[in-house]
Amino acid sequence: MAELDTSGGGKKGGKIRSKKASTRIDLTAMVDLAFLLITFFIMTTTLAKPKAMDMFMPDKSKPEVQLPVPETRTMTLWLGSNSKIEWFVGKPGGSRPTIDNFGKDGIRKTLVEQNKKIEETHQGPDNFMIVLVKPSDKSTYKDFVNIIDEINIAGIKSYGVVDITPGEVAQLKKDGNY
């Protein structure tokens, strides 16, 4: 039990004085309240979930048959240095990559336009665009998260993260984005 004693007690100046009743305050309830508040704040802060992006990667221990991806519905993004992106639609080497940046007037606008174009030209259940993201060694984690956010904002249904090839790195170096 915790208590606070405020009694004066003792003799002063040789005179005999009447003894005053001491004031005792029981602090047990205050200590209980303090522990309840600490417990409450610990419990509520641990219940807050961190925001994280769901990403599913294939199991590399099980090599499986890869389905062919139609080149006409595929957009490839190379992440370079200094927040620069190079992209092209179709077969690699078929057209010169376009250099773009992040933002609503950059890659987001491109993703929306290309997705709309592919949906209009392809009929049937497979009328959606597939985006292949290929980060280079010089790209940052921030750029990777930003491009995944841009893909989600643009409403792209299917995307994948793929390793960049040495030939694609050479093209990034040639364009000054590596």
Provide Rg for the chain, Cα atoms.
Answer: 33
Banded model confidence at residue 11, pLDDT cuts 50, 70, 90: low
Write down the pLDDT at residue 13.
59
For residues 126-158, one letter each, b for 16 or more C-beta atoms within 10 angstroms of the residue's C-beta and e for the rest, the string is eeebbbbbbbbebbeeebeebbbebbeebebee
Write down the pLDDT at residue 82.
87
Q: Which domains does the chain have, with CATH numbers?
A: 71-175 (3.30.420.270)
- Helix (H) / strand (E) element for 114: namely helix 107-121
Lowest mean pLDDT, pick from 24-33, 64-73, 111-120, 166-175: 64-73
Write down the pLDDT at residue 10.
54
- Given a cut of 80, is residue 9 above it in pLDDT? no
pTM of the model: 0.63
